[in-house]
A and B are shown apart, each in its own frame.
Chain A
Amino acid sequence: MTPTDARIHLFRAGSFPHVLVVDGSRIYEIDQETYRRLEAGELGLETSSYVTDEAPRTMPVRSLSLAIAQKCNLGCTYCYAQEGAFGAEPKSMTREVALRAVDLLFSEADPKEKLTLAFLGGEPLTNRPLLREAAETAAAMAAAQGIRIAFSITTNGTLITPEDGEFFERYGFAVTVSLDGVGQAHDLLRPFKDGRGSYERILRNVEPLLRMQRRMQVSARVTVTPSNPALRHTLDELLARGFSSVGFTPMLASPTGLGQMGAAELAAMLQEMIACGLECERRILAGERYGFSNLVTALRELHKGTHRPYPCGAAGSYFGVSADGELASCHRFVNDGAGKMGDVIQGVDRQAQRTWLEDRHVHRQSPCNECWARYLCGGGCHHEVIHRGRPACDYIRGWLHYSLQAYARLLKLRPDYFAQSN
């Protein structure tokens, strides 16, 4: 990695020198001499500013995730929701709360934008009838008001039925199944509460959905801990099963501390991620589809030049809704005072939102304000940062450095790939 100042980041794609101008996430190919002079600090840099210190004062609600069931039939050791109940009594959302939440989502809807309604938990399918009613209600409201809406669900996959698949297909759900590896690697991390493995059951349940996905997209999300480091094997196995995409996220903050990744494990994970990325590049060059979502997403965002002072939409346009109807900064902050944002009756607590947006702005985060990756990373997951800090900065920078190289290589060799992805 090239040491440089935090306004630019130099990288090579093959032998071709490039520079990322951090503000605006602008990517340029430059000549060898310019590269050398930038590296040596001989060239000044004058750049217009796209990201200011100012936080947005308020943002309308665009996305909600409903913790439709704060209970779960699995006993994953690292779960931020502490086996699904967020450290409290297991409970399900009431009909009134769910429908109030849908009303809230539509209360500030702008026909030009797209709303998102997500179902999380706990395991959301333990409260199936309400999930369906909420989705049907929202779809009907969207149709009546001429507003676009997208649905998503994150599920452990143990309770999914073919009828669920038909429902998700009808409403075009993005279905994310949590799978932490193949077979035993998964079972070790994601057992039923009585200790039995869940992998076989999940794959059996999900198989009909994989076959029927047209509007619906079924993807796998892999939480990476020190005990499931074989990413490339997991990726190929799950893609071969028919998942439309597979993404990996390192476990950085668990309530128990179990399964958290340390520096050495993150370094090893980076190597695995790059191995997956190189295979993905090879497949793209060959004109094949290969749903390694971490790289596919990175390529899309780098091509657009996405730059933002936050890691996600939490407490901006996105909120989590607890089973009791309280709003939280996101689905991870349910029952967590640090992210309290009002409730579905009163709406968003605008003062709390403003404070959050001001405090969490990446310019207010240290050492982020001195990091070249700040507008690509946004400062890291708020939940992880607040509860553990930032143990993964080298990993994130390493991955972004690789992604920049992959982008520049592919743009040279397969510019048509980016034309398609727009």
Chain B
Amino acid sequence: MPTIEPKNLSAQLAYRGRGNPPSTHPSSAIANCFPGLETDFRNLWKRFLVGVEFHEALNTVVAVEAGSAAAQAGVTANHALTSVAGVNLLPFFPAGRVAWTLDWSNIVAPLQVRAGQTVACEFRIPGGAPAPLVVNLEIRRILTPDTVAIEPDAAEPGALTQSLCSPWQADYRECLCFYWAASRPDFVNVETADGVSRGHNWMTRNRTAATPKNYIEEGQPGLVTYEDLYRSWESMLRFVVGGNDAD
């Protein structure tokens, strides 16, 4: 097997692992929408504190390593990190957990200058006691020093691609609002009487001919969800012929 080992930094940046397609390179990526179509860099921050695993986009703890300093202090899944290294996270998470994805990355990434150091962290259970659980935790080093390689401990194999969007399902659902191209309808089973049109939103879940013809707006219950599409798009979506559901 031929060996081609990148040595200097520009070669490391340009390197493409054996078997990886071109799209695994940030420079050839499309990534037009979070979490991206090729890699999801948010997964790098999931383990930024040693012993704790966070949700990729939130301050929510999803797992705590047994025997770690965090576990010994009583941190559990469902705790939310509300302060780290003197940075108060509460303003970013007014409802306890909701944040814009990039805010989370932008909060966590600058802490890398203190990688290897132990810093004070505060955890709270959203809606729970106001007094935080305070514990000193080590900031994990994300990149191997002076290289562009990800530290093996920071991300397990496959971590960078595990939370990618499923492009067509996600975009298909995202573009619900009369935006999607002509290849799909939006307003179906339409009847017009007295100058008024009545029909179904094409994403109305489990509709039949008897389902009342009220157009359900995005945000209201009763529409097909992202998860419905991921799990069983083929039974959730229906053929529409001539503007009507084809049964």
Residues of A within 8 A of B (CB): 18, 21, 24-31, 33-34, 48, 302-305, 307, 407-408, 411, 418-419, 422
Across the interface, do B10 and A48 meet the contact criterion of CB distance under 8 Å? no
Residues of B within 8 A of A29 (CB): 3-5, 7
Residues of B within 8 A of A21 (CB): 11
Question: Within B1-40, which residues are at the interface with A (CB < 8 Å)?
Answer: 2-11, 13-14, 27
Residues of A within 8 A of B11 (CB): 21, 24, 26-28, 305
Residues of A within 8 A of B7 (CB): 18, 27-29, 408, 411
Across the interface, do B2 and A30 meet the contact criterion of CB distance under 8 Å? yes
Across the interface, do B146 and A34 meet the contact criterion of CB distance under 8 Å? no
Contacts A29-B3, A30-B2 known; A419 to B146 CB distance under 8 Å? yes
Q: Report the nearest A residue to B27, measured CB to CB.
A: A48
How many chain-B residues does the 8 Å CB contact rule pick out? Answer: 15
Beyond known contacts A24-B10, A305-B13, A418-B146: 14 more, CB 8 A cutoff: A18-B7, A21-B11, A24-B14, A26-B6, A26-B14, A27-B7, A28-B4, A29-B4, A30-B5, A34-B2, A304-B10, A305-B8, A305-B11, A419-B146
Q: How many A-B residue contacts, CB cutoff 8 Å?
A: 58
C-alpha spacing A48/B2, complex, angstroms = 21
With an 8 A cutoff between CB atoms, is B145 at the interface?
Answer: yes
Across the interface, do A33 and B9 meet the contact criterion of CB distance under 8 Å? no
In the complex, how many angstroms separate the beta carbon of B112 from the nearest chain A beta carbon? 15
Residues of B within 8 A of A (CB): 2-11, 13-14, 27, 145-146
Main secondary structure of the interface of A (DSSP, over half): mixed
Across the interface, do B146 and A33 meet the contact criterion of CB distance under 8 Å? no
Q: Report the nearest A residue to B22, measured CB to CB.
A: A48
Quick one: which of B10, B27, B145, B146 contacts A26, CB cutoff 8 A?
A: B10
Residues of B within 8 A of A26 (CB): 6, 8, 10-11, 14
C-alpha spacing A34/B27, complex, angstroms = 26
Main secondary structure of the interface of B (DSSP, over half): mixed
Residues of A within 8 A of B9 (CB): 303-305
C-alpha spacing A303/B7, complex, angstroms = 8
8 sampled A-B residue pairs with Cβ under 8 A: A26-B11, A27-B7, A28-B5, A28-B11, A302-B8, A303-B8, A411-B7, A419-B145
Residues of A within 8 A of B145 (CB): 419
In the complex, how many angstroms separate the beta carbon of B17 from the nearest chain A beta carbon? 14
Across the A-B interface, the 8 shortest Cβ-Cβ residue pairs: A305-B10, A26-B11, A419-B146, A31-B3, A27-B8, A27-B7, A29-B5, A34-B2
Residues of B within 8 A of A28 (CB): 4-7, 11
C-alpha spacing A179/B53, complex, angstroms = 60
In the complex, how many angstroms separate the beta carbon of A407 from the nearest chain B beta carbon? 7
Residues of B within 8 A of A307 (CB): 10
Residues of B within 8 A of A408 (CB): 7
Across the interface, do B8 and A34 meet the contact criterion of CB distance under 8 Å? no
Residues of B within 8 A of A30 (CB): 2-5
In the complex, how many angstroms separate the beta carbon of A8 from the nearest chain B beta carbon? 12
C-alpha spacing A34/B2, complex, angstroms = 6
Residues of A within 8 A of B10 (CB): 24-27, 304-305, 307
In the complex, how many angstroms separate the beta carbon of B8 from the nearest chain A beta carbon? 4
